[in-house]
Amino acid sequence: MTQPWSPEHVVTVTLARQLVEEQFPELVPVRVQVLGEGFDNTVYQINEDYVFRFPRREIAVELLRAEGRLLPDLAGRFSLAIPEPLFYGTPSERFPWPFLGYRLVRGVAPERVRALRRIEAAQPLAEFLRAVHSFPLEKAKRCGVPETDIMERFLLDKRKPQLLANIEKAAALELLESATLHTLREYANALSPAQWTPPIYDTLVHGDLHIRNLVVDAEGNLTGVIDWGDTHIGHRALDLSIVYNYLPPEGRTVFYQHYGEVDRQTQEMARFRAVFSTLVLMLYGHDQQQEQLVAVSKQNLALALLV
């Protein structure tokens, strides 16, 4: 069965080396190390200091172009590190789409970080998102970022059936305990399209803020945010989902003290997105045989279900 993350093009190690050497001879000899892959991009570390991302699906191509224009304008605005585009690859006979090379943001995803370190991340995360969400919209538009949420992430008429279907997939795969499944089903069944007023899209958002796009150092301290391919002008609740599937309750209090208070609907939308995206990430981890991602997704889903 075709999954939403199924690729249309996969750049191999050999092809990545060829593309980089042909278009950026200053990097020769090119040493390639696999970093990973996501729904939209295949990612390689080049010569220890750079990261190159190659689109896997056509839907990611324009998003990558917009990211390449936006990130230089965001540089220097945050205490947390973000990718710095340095190499702008162009389509060729070998590969039909553009690709980007960045200075490496050093660290790892926080898949084994203790609760205390998560709580300590609340303030820097709040300050980071407050800065992102206050970025001038006209500047973002000039960079070509999508001016609305084309994925309709908060359209419950569309997303509630998907959530219910994913819950049953997780149940069939025996990925969750019965108590968690019961709580999850209760939560999903209680969702009503009429419970929210239509969201207003008036904020620059990262767009894909989850555990795989956070970076921590060896001690588990939050140091960076990567993968801006889903950035757009949307609703802040999309990014605030990280408050519910990464921060324990004590951290949420600290977060809003530094970010600022938000209304109840925004909190409910953020929690919904936390539940929805964490469940998708867990199913993805199972499909890709990434046991640690499945384990941390279970932990994060339990957090998101905490009121």
DSSP for 239-261, written as a single string:
HHHHHHHTS-HHHHHHHHHHH--
Supply the pTM of this predicted model: 0.94
Question: Do 76 and 211 have their domain in common?
Answer: no
The pLDDT score that the predictor gives to residue 10 is 87
CATH number at residue 169: 3.90.1200.10
Q: What does the DSSP 8-state code read for residue 77?
A: S
The proportion of the chain whose per-residue pLDDT surpasses 90, expressed as a percent, equals 89
The pLDDT score that the predictor gives to residue 38 is 78
Instruction: Quickly list H helices, the chain.
Output: 13-23, 59-74, 115-120, 122-133, 137-142, 156-172, 178-190, 237-245, 249-259, 264-287, 291-304
- The amino acid that residue 49 corresponds to is D
The pLDDT score that the predictor gives to residue 275 is 98
CB burial class (10 A; 0-12, 13-18, 19+) of residue 128?
Answer: buried
Residues of the chain with pLDDT under 70: 1-5
CATH number at residue 88: 3.30.200.20
Question: Do 52 and 185 have their domain in common?
Answer: no
Q: What is the pLDDT of residues 113-129, one digit of tens each?
A: 999 999 999 999 999 99
Q: What does the DSSP 8-state code read for residue 36?
A: E
Helix (H, G, I), strand (E, B) or coil at 287: helix
Domain range for 191: 115-304
CA dist., res. 298 & res. 304, Å (int): 10
The pLDDT score that the predictor gives to residue 2 is 60
Reference 134, options 209, 229, 236; nearest CA is: 236
Tell which of 103, 137, 172 closes a domain: 103
The pLDDT score that the predictor gives to residue 9 is 83
The pLDDT score that the predictor gives to residue 261 is 96
Q: What is the pLDDT of residues 24-56, one digit of tens each?
A: 999 999 999 999 887 789 999 999 999 999 999
- The amino acid that residue 150 corresponds to is I
Reference 212, options 276, 134, 300; nearest CA is: 300
Question: Do 169 and 91 have their domain in common?
Answer: no
The pLDDT score that the predictor gives to residue 306 is 86
Domains identified in the chain, total number:
2
Question: Do 158 and 134 have their domain in common?
Answer: yes
